[in-house]
Structure 1
């Protein structure tokens, strides 16, 4: 499994693209809007030894880290939530017109009152680097522990997350996505 990332380009509405291996945000520039080629040679070599791949991503030789064909175009930020699956996607990059990239870790909070019973609520939490992402996974585990005690009350989870890290900033909740 790759480090699957959705990349949303703000172009008077968002164009949503897919990256199987998380691209370096600094490689998304005006000159290289979809990044440099992915660093997946190690996976190709291992797969060549283990199986006879026919079709699929392992047989494609990509020239950019982000697929240039969009999954969807002209989306609102809220619409992007309909494409995020917390079991499949690890990150969301939002690229503004000047190619400044805001990075979010994707978390699923199942069966909260913020969403229908059969759909996870997705939380997007801004982060700064892998060390911060690892910290955030523990931070969210604290929120899930509160859910285990307080029940699926979304307000209790949000309050706990704010208490655990009051300086974290905005947590974007996308109810019923996924």
Structure 2
């Protein structure tokens, strides 16, 4: 399945790029703006036994983890968020002009009042990401069993750690959220 990540570069608007196998944020530098080689060796080895990739994507030796061809350019942050699909994308990386990277996990939420929502939850490293995925799985299990008030998981996610910079999309204009 990959570790599908959207990478938004802040360049007078956001340029949105795709990284199928994810990318190490430390590899996004002015010298290597799209990271190093993708981490897809294991998949290539397994696919070689099963497929004849002549002329297909598997024969394309990608040189960078992030596809240099943008999906879109000049987007606002809200427009970039609108392109996220929590079923398809695992993470969003926002790369500032100085190449500082803010990392967000992409979570699908069900809000009984506002319908399907997407939460972007800031995280620090792989251990923190694993903790947050576990936290969300536990919250969903509690919701399924205890049926808390509508929007309880969403509210708890915002209270989990305000310093994470949680963003929920689409915005709920009626409630001022």
Structure 1 length normalisation: TM-score? 0.85
Structure 1 position 157 matched with structure 2 position 153: yes
Structure 1 position 81 matched with structure 2 position 77: no
Q: How many positions carry a matched residue from both structures?
A: 169
Q: Find the aligned partners of 1:82 and 1:59 in 2 and give their Cα distance.
A: 32
Change (3 A) 1:71 1:133: same
- Structure 1 match to 2:103: 103
Contact 2:86 2:118 (C-alpha < 8 Å) held by counterparts? yes
1:64: Cα distance to partner?
A: 0.7
Contact 1:5 1:21 (C-alpha < 8 Å) held by counterparts? yes
1:127: Cα distance to partner?
A: 0.7
- Structure 1 match to 2:24: 24
- Structure 2 match to 1:136: 132
1:174: Cα distance to partner?
A: 0.8
Q: Equivalences for 1:1-178 in 2 at 5 Å?
A: 1-53=1-53, 57-110=57-110, 112-115=112-115, 120-145=116-141, 147-148=143-144, 149-150=147-148, 153-154=150-151, 156-162=152-158, 165-166=160-161, 169-175=164-170
1:75: Cα distance to partner?
A: 0.7
Contact 1:146 1:160 (C-alpha < 8 Å) held by counterparts? no
1:22: Cα distance to partner?
A: 0.9
Change (3 A) 1:35 1:166: closer
Cα-Cα RMSD: 2.0
Contact 2:109 2:154 (C-alpha < 8 Å) held by counterparts? no
Change (3 A) 1:131 1:168: same
Q: Deviations over 1:86-145 (max 9, x none)?
A: 111111000000000011111001354334xxxx31100011111111110122124324
Unaligned runs of 5+ in 2: 172-177
Q: Deviations over 1:45-95 (max 9, x none)?
A: 110002223555423210111001100111111111221111111110000
- Structure 1 match to 2:174: none
Q: Does 100-109 or 137-146 show the bigger shift? A: 137-146
